[in-house]
Amino acid sequence: MTQPAPAYARIISDIRDRIIRGDLQPGDLVPSEQSIVNTWGVSRGTVVRALAELRAEGLIETVPGVGTRVLATTAQGGSDRARRLKTTGSIFRPDETSTITGAGIVDAPADIGAALGIEPGTPVIRRTRLLSDRDGIAAISTSWLPAEFADAVPALLQPRSLGGTGTLRAVAVAVADATGRTAVLCRETSVARLADEAESTTLDLPAPAAVLETRSLFTDHAGDAIEYGVDIAPSRRTRTVEIALA
């Protein structure tokens, strides 16, 4: 029998999920320690531990005389948007917008071919966008998908929004119906590096400047790639990943 997660871990997960979904916006106060004690029926020490871990993750900060509030600068990856889509029906937070900057079929660069498990130069779908929130441009985001998916979802080749559900939902529904393939796993890798000239200009960064690149690979039951996403965010935005161990 699976043991329930400790109370402090459940509190962390609840507050983290509310921040990721957008229920708690940057600058909003999280519930007070006493409020959490009353709601969860736990000791103050348990609450203190939970809030300390959320501070360590860069999601909240405590301001003397004010309270504990949500930090504004958070970076995201494909797993965050997949979870938000599942719980809210949209990949975006309430304060977030997406501007599609390009869509079409291109020859796969070597690194993209390796990620998707295909030969370099093989036709693939590429969709590019800018993600913005109240703090400015949050990320340069690119989705790469097998070219045959365009037969099931022609809109993937059009430089316009897919209605707030993104490629994740389009692939989950139309592609699954047409091919029987469904994404069941997302594996993410984040790496810090220097921005190139185009990235520095787009993100309004001084040169040289660091960026955080998060790569999200969605695979089906057979382990074959369905989508490969790359998000490039300013390094001032933190990246938080939740991993379920039980």
DSSP 167-232: HHHHIIIIIHHHH-----EEEEEEEEEE--HHHHHHTT--SS-EEEEEEEEEE-TTS-EEEEEEEE
Q: Residue 48's CB: how many other CB atoms inside 10 A?
A: 14
Closest residue by Cα to residue 236 from 146, 136, 119: 136
pLDDT of residue 165: 60
Asked if residue 192 has pLDDT above 70, the reply is: yes
CATH no. of 7-70 = 1.10.10.10
Q: Which residues contact 156 (CB under 8 A, 6 or more apart)?
A: 103, 125, 127, 145, 149, 150, 162, 167, 170
Q: Can you tell me which residue has the tokens 């917008």?
A: 97
Superfamily (CATH) of domain 74-239: Chorismate lyase-like (3.40.1410.10)
Q: Are 76 and 216 in contact (CB under 8 A)?
A: no
Asked if residue 43 has pLDDT above 90, the reply is: yes
pLDDT of residue 208: 83
Beta-strand pair 74-75/238-239: parallel
Handedness of CA 81, 242, 5, 8 (dihedral sign): negative
For the chain, the domains span: 7-70, 74-239
Once rounded to an integer, what is the mean pLDDT over residues 190-204? 92
